[in-house]
Amino acid sequence: MADRNGTADERIIQREAAEWFAVLHDEQASEEQRRRWRAWIDADPAHARIWERVKAISQPFAQAADAAPAQALRETLAKAQSAGRRRALRVLGLGGVAVGAGLLARLTLPWQGWLHEYAVARADYRTDIGEQRRLTLPDGTRLDLNTATAVDVDFGRSLRRIVLHAGEILVDSAPDTQAPARALVVDTPCARLTALGTRFAVRGDARNEAFSGHVAVFAGAVRISLANGAQLDVPAGRQARFTSDSIEPDGRADLARESWSRGQLVADDIPLAAFVAELSRYTPVSVTVSPQAAPLRLVGAYPIAQPSRDIPVILAALESALPVRVERTPAGDVHIRAR
Protein backbone atom coordinates (compact mmCIF):
# COMPACT_ATOMS: atom_id res chain seq x y z
CA MET A 1 0.00 0.00 0.00
CA ALA A 2 1.24 3.49 -0.76
CA ASP A 3 2.63 5.52 2.12
CA ARG A 4 -0.03 7.72 3.71
CA ASN A 5 1.31 10.74 5.54
CA GLY A 6 -0.99 13.56 4.42
CA THR A 7 -3.96 14.87 6.37
CA ALA A 8 -6.39 13.84 3.64
CA ASP A 9 -5.04 10.28 3.66
CA GLU A 10 -5.22 10.12 7.45
CA ARG A 11 -8.87 11.09 7.22
CA ILE A 12 -9.52 8.31 4.72
CA ILE A 13 -8.04 5.80 7.17
CA GLN A 14 -10.04 7.32 10.03
CA ARG A 15 -13.26 6.98 8.05
CA GLU A 16 -12.44 3.38 7.15
CA ALA A 17 -11.63 2.62 10.79
CA ALA A 18 -14.91 4.14 11.97
CA GLU A 19 -16.82 2.03 9.47
CA TRP A 20 -15.06 -1.14 10.62
CA PHE A 21 -15.78 -0.20 14.23
CA ALA A 22 -19.47 -0.02 13.36
CA VAL A 23 -19.37 -3.36 11.53
CA LEU A 24 -17.66 -5.21 14.37
CA HIS A 25 -20.11 -3.82 16.93
CA ASP A 26 -23.10 -5.11 15.04
CA GLU A 27 -24.49 -8.23 16.69
CA GLN A 28 -24.86 -9.77 13.23
CA ALA A 29 -21.23 -9.26 12.22
CA SER A 30 -20.12 -12.35 10.27
CA GLU A 31 -16.86 -14.26 10.30
CA GLU A 32 -16.30 -13.12 6.72
CA GLN A 33 -16.56 -9.49 7.85
CA ARG A 34 -14.10 -10.17 10.66
CA ARG A 35 -11.73 -11.79 8.17
CA ARG A 36 -11.92 -8.72 5.91
CA TRP A 37 -11.37 -6.44 8.93
CA ARG A 38 -8.27 -8.41 9.87
CA ALA A 39 -6.99 -8.13 6.28
CA TRP A 40 -7.53 -4.37 6.45
CA ILE A 41 -5.62 -4.16 9.74
CA ASP A 42 -2.73 -6.21 8.32
CA ALA A 43 -2.52 -4.17 5.12
CA ASP A 44 -0.85 -1.14 6.71
CA PRO A 45 0.58 -0.36 10.19
CA ALA A 46 -1.24 2.98 10.02
CA HIS A 47 -4.53 1.07 9.95
CA ALA A 48 -3.71 -0.65 13.23
CA ARG A 49 -2.53 2.54 14.89
CA ILE A 50 -5.54 4.62 13.89
CA TRP A 51 -7.89 1.72 14.68
CA GLU A 52 -6.53 1.83 18.23
CA ARG A 53 -7.30 5.56 18.41
CA VAL A 54 -10.82 5.05 17.08
CA LYS A 55 -11.48 2.28 19.57
CA ALA A 56 -10.14 4.29 22.51
CA ILE A 57 -12.36 7.27 21.68
CA SER A 58 -15.46 5.36 20.55
CA GLN A 59 -15.73 2.77 23.30
CA PRO A 60 -17.54 5.15 25.69
CA PHE A 61 -20.33 5.19 23.09
CA ALA A 62 -20.48 1.49 22.22
CA GLN A 63 -19.67 -1.93 23.60
CA ALA A 64 -16.02 -2.90 23.72
CA ALA A 65 -14.73 -4.91 20.77
CA ASP A 66 -14.73 -8.65 21.38
CA ALA A 67 -11.58 -10.55 22.32
CA ALA A 68 -10.77 -11.82 18.83
CA PRO A 69 -10.44 -8.38 17.16
CA ALA A 70 -8.57 -7.05 20.19
CA GLN A 71 -6.07 -9.93 20.05
CA ALA A 72 -5.64 -9.48 16.30
CA LEU A 73 -4.92 -5.80 16.82
CA ARG A 74 -2.30 -6.51 19.49
CA GLU A 75 -0.59 -9.00 17.19
CA THR A 76 -0.52 -6.56 14.29
CA LEU A 77 0.81 -3.72 16.43
CA ALA A 78 3.51 -6.02 17.78
CA LYS A 79 4.53 -6.91 14.23
CA ALA A 80 4.64 -3.26 13.23
CA GLN A 81 6.65 -2.25 16.29
CA SER A 82 9.22 -4.99 15.72
CA ALA A 83 9.46 -4.64 11.95
CA GLY A 84 12.12 -1.95 12.16
CA ARG A 85 10.99 -0.37 8.93
CA ARG A 86 11.47 3.39 8.69
CA ARG A 87 7.93 3.78 7.37
CA ALA A 88 6.39 1.77 10.19
CA LEU A 89 8.27 3.76 12.80
CA ARG A 90 7.20 7.00 11.18
CA VAL A 91 3.53 5.97 11.13
CA LEU A 92 3.48 4.46 14.60
CA GLY A 93 5.37 7.44 16.02
CA LEU A 94 2.70 9.93 15.01
CA GLY A 95 1.54 12.31 17.68
CA GLY A 96 -1.98 13.70 17.70
CA VAL A 97 -3.97 12.81 14.59
CA ALA A 98 -6.32 15.45 13.22
CA VAL A 99 -9.81 14.02 13.44
CA GLY A 100 -11.66 13.14 10.22
CA ALA A 101 -13.89 15.52 8.33
CA GLY A 102 -17.59 15.54 9.10
CA LEU A 103 -20.40 17.73 10.34
CA LEU A 104 -19.02 18.40 13.86
CA ALA A 105 -16.04 20.51 14.87
CA ARG A 106 -13.36 18.18 16.17
CA LEU A 107 -10.07 19.96 16.63
CA THR A 108 -10.86 20.84 20.24
CA LEU A 109 -13.20 17.92 20.94
CA PRO A 110 -11.78 15.04 18.91
CA TRP A 111 -14.09 12.47 20.40
CA GLN A 112 -16.95 14.20 18.61
CA GLY A 113 -15.29 13.46 15.31
CA TRP A 114 -15.03 9.76 15.99
CA LEU A 115 -18.59 9.71 17.27
CA HIS A 116 -19.75 11.39 14.08
CA GLU A 117 -17.91 8.93 11.84
CA TYR A 118 -19.39 6.10 13.89
CA ALA A 119 -22.89 7.57 13.47
CA VAL A 120 -22.41 7.92 9.71
CA ALA A 121 -21.21 4.32 9.45
CA ARG A 122 -24.22 3.07 11.44
CA ALA A 123 -26.81 5.32 9.77
CA ASP A 124 -30.14 3.77 8.82
CA TYR A 125 -29.80 4.94 5.22
CA ARG A 126 -26.68 5.94 3.28
CA THR A 127 -25.66 6.81 -0.26
CA ASP A 128 -22.20 6.60 -1.78
CA ILE A 129 -20.54 9.31 -3.86
CA GLY A 130 -22.62 9.72 -7.00
CA GLU A 131 -25.54 7.69 -5.67
CA GLN A 132 -29.08 8.95 -5.02
CA ARG A 133 -31.94 7.22 -3.26
CA ARG A 134 -35.65 7.81 -2.68
CA LEU A 135 -37.50 6.56 0.40
CA THR A 136 -41.12 6.61 1.48
CA LEU A 137 -41.35 6.86 5.27
CA PRO A 138 -44.06 5.16 7.37
CA ASP A 139 -46.26 8.29 7.41
CA GLY A 140 -46.05 8.76 3.64
CA THR A 141 -43.34 11.44 3.75
CA ARG A 142 -41.01 11.18 0.77
CA LEU A 143 -37.30 11.48 1.51
CA ASP A 144 -34.70 11.87 -1.26
CA LEU A 145 -31.03 11.35 -0.41
CA ASN A 146 -28.40 13.02 -2.57
CA THR A 147 -24.80 11.95 -3.09
CA ALA A 148 -22.72 10.95 -0.02
CA THR A 149 -25.59 11.28 2.46
CA ALA A 150 -26.30 9.52 5.76
CA VAL A 151 -29.52 9.77 7.77
CA ASP A 152 -31.32 8.07 10.63
CA VAL A 153 -35.12 7.88 10.79
CA ASP A 154 -36.81 7.67 14.19
CA PHE A 155 -40.60 7.81 14.35
CA GLY A 156 -41.79 7.73 17.96
CA ARG A 157 -45.01 8.39 19.80
CA SER A 158 -44.57 12.15 19.96
CA LEU A 159 -42.15 13.04 17.15
CA ARG A 160 -41.28 12.09 13.58
CA ARG A 161 -37.52 12.61 13.49
CA ILE A 162 -34.97 12.54 10.67
CA VAL A 163 -31.31 12.94 11.65
CA LEU A 164 -29.01 14.29 8.93
CA HIS A 165 -25.45 13.18 9.66
CA ALA A 166 -23.92 14.11 6.30
CA GLY A 167 -24.91 15.19 2.82
CA GLU A 168 -28.17 16.55 1.47
CA ILE A 169 -31.84 15.56 1.59
CA LEU A 170 -35.12 16.70 0.07
CA VAL A 171 -38.18 16.24 2.29
CA ASP A 172 -41.73 16.18 0.93
CA SER A 173 -43.68 15.95 4.16
CA ALA A 174 -47.00 14.18 4.58
CA PRO A 175 -49.61 15.02 7.24
CA ASP A 176 -49.48 12.75 10.25
CA THR A 177 -52.43 10.38 10.56
CA GLN A 178 -51.96 9.89 14.30
CA ALA A 179 -53.79 11.94 16.90
CA PRO A 180 -52.44 14.10 18.29
CA ALA A 181 -50.34 14.83 15.22
CA ARG A 182 -46.59 14.47 15.65
CA ALA A 183 -44.22 17.18 14.45
CA LEU A 184 -41.82 16.29 11.64
CA VAL A 185 -38.28 17.50 12.35
CA VAL A 186 -34.84 17.25 10.79
CA ASP A 187 -32.02 17.34 13.33
CA THR A 188 -28.49 18.38 12.34
CA PRO A 189 -25.46 18.77 14.64
CA CYS A 190 -26.32 22.41 15.33
CA ALA A 191 -30.00 23.02 14.57
CA ARG A 192 -33.46 21.52 14.51
CA LEU A 193 -35.64 22.16 11.46
CA THR A 194 -39.38 21.78 12.04
CA ALA A 195 -41.56 21.21 8.98
CA LEU A 196 -44.70 23.32 8.85
CA GLY A 197 -46.53 21.43 6.08
CA THR A 198 -43.74 21.64 3.61
CA ARG A 199 -41.33 20.56 0.90
CA PHE A 200 -37.75 21.55 1.65
CA ALA A 201 -34.12 20.67 1.06
CA VAL A 202 -31.44 20.52 3.77
CA ARG A 203 -27.71 20.34 3.21
CA GLY A 204 -24.79 20.08 5.59
CA ASP A 205 -21.29 21.37 4.92
CA ALA A 206 -18.12 20.72 6.91
CA ARG A 207 -15.60 23.11 5.43
CA ASN A 208 -12.82 24.24 7.77
CA GLU A 209 -13.89 21.57 10.27
CA ALA A 210 -17.00 23.54 11.32
CA PHE A 211 -20.57 22.58 10.56
CA SER A 212 -22.86 24.84 8.61
CA GLY A 213 -26.24 24.08 7.13
CA HIS A 214 -28.54 25.36 4.44
CA VAL A 215 -32.29 25.00 3.96
CA ALA A 216 -34.34 25.92 0.89
CA VAL A 217 -38.13 25.86 1.21
CA PHE A 218 -40.34 25.12 -1.79
CA ALA A 219 -43.75 24.75 -0.10
CA GLY A 220 -45.10 25.59 3.36
CA ALA A 221 -42.48 26.80 5.82
CA VAL A 222 -39.62 25.54 7.98
CA ARG A 223 -38.67 26.74 11.46
CA ILE A 224 -34.95 26.74 12.25
CA SER A 225 -34.18 26.46 15.98
CA LEU A 226 -30.71 26.71 17.53
CA ALA A 227 -29.56 25.57 20.95
CA ASN A 228 -28.91 29.20 21.92
CA GLY A 229 -32.62 30.00 21.49
CA ALA A 230 -32.42 31.69 18.09
CA GLN A 231 -35.26 30.89 15.69
CA LEU A 232 -36.28 31.80 12.17
CA ASP A 233 -39.32 30.77 10.13
CA VAL A 234 -38.38 30.37 6.46
CA PRO A 235 -41.39 30.64 4.12
CA ALA A 236 -41.88 28.99 0.74
CA GLY A 237 -39.66 30.43 -1.96
CA ARG A 238 -36.90 31.48 0.45
CA GLN A 239 -33.78 29.91 1.91
CA ALA A 240 -31.43 30.40 4.86
CA ARG A 241 -28.00 29.44 6.15
CA PHE A 242 -27.27 28.44 9.73
CA THR A 243 -24.49 27.47 12.10
CA SER A 244 -24.55 26.63 15.80
CA ASP A 245 -24.40 30.37 16.54
CA SER A 246 -26.47 32.14 13.91
CA ILE A 247 -29.18 32.01 11.24
CA GLU A 248 -29.01 34.18 8.12
CA PRO A 249 -31.67 34.59 5.40
CA ASP A 250 -30.17 33.76 2.01
CA GLY A 251 -32.57 35.14 -0.59
CA ARG A 252 -34.89 33.22 -2.86
CA ALA A 253 -34.88 29.43 -2.89
CA ASP A 254 -32.38 28.09 -5.40
CA LEU A 255 -34.03 25.62 -7.77
CA ALA A 256 -30.77 23.68 -7.89
CA ARG A 257 -31.49 22.63 -4.30
CA GLU A 258 -34.27 20.36 -5.53
CA SER A 259 -33.43 19.74 -9.19
CA TRP A 260 -30.93 17.03 -8.23
CA SER A 261 -33.86 14.86 -7.11
CA ARG A 262 -34.99 14.87 -10.75
CA GLY A 263 -31.52 13.94 -11.96
CA GLN A 264 -30.44 17.43 -13.00
CA LEU A 265 -27.78 19.95 -12.03
CA VAL A 266 -29.16 23.43 -12.68
CA ALA A 267 -26.79 26.35 -13.30
CA ASP A 268 -28.69 29.63 -13.00
CA ASP A 269 -26.09 32.15 -14.18
CA ILE A 270 -23.45 31.00 -11.70
CA PRO A 271 -19.63 31.09 -11.89
CA LEU A 272 -18.03 28.04 -13.44
CA ALA A 273 -16.10 27.52 -10.20
CA ALA A 274 -19.36 27.13 -8.26
CA PHE A 275 -20.70 24.66 -10.81
CA VAL A 276 -17.49 22.61 -10.72
CA ALA A 277 -17.64 22.50 -6.92
CA GLU A 278 -21.15 21.10 -7.16
CA LEU A 279 -20.21 18.63 -9.89
CA SER A 280 -17.29 17.37 -7.79
CA ARG A 281 -19.69 16.09 -5.14
CA TYR A 282 -20.83 13.38 -7.56
CA THR A 283 -17.47 11.84 -8.41
CA PRO A 284 -14.34 10.65 -6.59
CA VAL A 285 -12.30 12.11 -9.46
CA SER A 286 -10.66 15.46 -8.74
CA VAL A 287 -12.24 18.18 -10.91
CA THR A 288 -10.57 21.60 -10.74
CA VAL A 289 -10.84 24.87 -12.64
CA SER A 290 -8.14 27.45 -13.39
CA PRO A 291 -8.39 30.98 -11.93
CA GLN A 292 -8.87 32.37 -15.43
CA ALA A 293 -11.84 30.10 -16.17
CA ALA A 294 -13.38 30.20 -12.67
CA PRO A 295 -15.42 33.43 -13.07
CA LEU A 296 -17.02 32.47 -16.41
CA ARG A 297 -20.82 32.42 -16.05
CA LEU A 298 -22.86 29.33 -16.81
CA VAL A 299 -26.56 28.77 -17.48
CA GLY A 300 -28.21 25.43 -18.18
CA ALA A 301 -29.56 22.14 -16.87
CA TYR A 302 -27.28 19.12 -16.98
CA PRO A 303 -28.12 15.43 -16.37
CA ILE A 304 -26.57 13.83 -13.28
CA ALA A 305 -28.74 10.76 -12.62
CA GLN A 306 -25.88 8.43 -13.63
CA PRO A 307 -22.66 10.33 -12.87
CA SER A 308 -20.25 7.88 -14.50
CA ARG A 309 -22.15 8.31 -17.76
CA ASP A 310 -23.30 11.92 -17.38
CA ILE A 311 -20.17 13.71 -16.16
CA PRO A 312 -18.17 13.14 -19.38
CA VAL A 313 -21.18 14.50 -21.29
CA ILE A 314 -21.28 17.55 -19.01
CA LEU A 315 -17.57 18.21 -19.50
CA ALA A 316 -17.98 18.04 -23.26
CA ALA A 317 -20.94 20.44 -23.02
CA LEU A 318 -18.82 22.91 -21.05
CA GLU A 319 -16.25 22.98 -23.84
CA SER A 320 -19.04 23.78 -26.30
CA ALA A 321 -20.76 26.41 -24.15
CA LEU A 322 -17.71 28.24 -22.78
CA PRO A 323 -14.23 29.22 -23.99
CA VAL A 324 -12.60 26.46 -21.95
CA ARG A 325 -10.58 23.32 -22.53
CA VAL A 326 -10.99 20.15 -20.44
CA GLU A 327 -7.72 18.36 -19.73
CA ARG A 328 -7.28 14.94 -18.15
CA THR A 329 -4.17 13.87 -16.28
CA PRO A 330 -2.64 10.37 -16.52
CA ALA A 331 -4.08 9.73 -13.05
CA GLY A 332 -7.57 10.47 -14.34
CA ASP A 333 -8.04 13.88 -12.71
CA VAL A 334 -9.80 16.64 -14.64
CA HIS A 335 -8.68 20.26 -14.97
CA ILE A 336 -10.67 22.94 -16.79
CA ARG A 337 -8.71 25.90 -18.11
CA ALA A 338 -9.51 28.92 -20.25
CA ARG A 339 -8.80 28.68 -23.97
pLDDT digits (tens, 9 = 90+) for 286-304: 999 999 999 999 988 888 9
Residue 54's H or E segment, with its range, is helix 45-58
Q: What is the pLDDT of residues 85-107, one digit of tens each?
A: 333 222 222 222 222 223 333 33
pLDDT at 143 > cutoff 70: yes
Other Cβ atoms within 10 Å of 84 Cβ, number:
8
Q: What is the pTM of this model?
A: 0.69
Residues sharing a CB contact under 8 Å with residue 329, sequence separation 6 or more, in sequence order: 335
Was domain 263-338 assigned CATH 3.40.440.10?
Answer: no
Q: Where does CATH 2.60.120.1440 sit in the chain?
A: 125-257
Tell me the percentage of the chain whose pLDDT exceeds 70: 74
Higher-pLDDT residue of 30, 282: 282
Class of the 125-257 domain? mainly beta
The count of residues in the chain is 339
Write down the pLDDT at residue 106: 34
What percent of the chain is helix, strand and coil (3-state, nearest 5)?
35, 30, 35
pLDDT at 280 > cutoff 60: yes
Average pLDDT over residues 116-131: 84
Q: Where does CATH 3.55.50.30 sit in the chain?
A: 263-338
Scanning 162-280, the segments in alpha helix (DSSP H) are 256-259, 272-280
Average pLDDT over residues 217-231: 93
- For residues 96-123, one letter each, b for 16 or more C-beta atoms within 10 angstroms of the residue's C-beta and e for the rest, the string is ebebbbbbbbbeeebebbbbbbbbbbbb
Alpha carbon dihedral 44, 49, 54, 57, in 10-degree steps, equals 180
Lowest-pLDDT range, 14-28, 176-190, 209-223? 14-28
Q: What is the pLDDT of residues 155-200, one digit of tens each?
A: 998 999 999 988 999 999 999 988 889 999 999 888 999 999 889 9
Lowest-pLDDT range, 112-116, 208-212, 245-249, 295-299? 112-116
Q: How far from each other are the two terminal CA atoms of the chain, in whole angstroms?
A: 38
Other Cβ atoms within 10 Å of 59 Cβ, number:
14
| In contact, 200 and 178? CB cutoff 8 Å | no
Scanning 239-306, the segments in alpha helix (DSSP H) are 256-259, 272-280
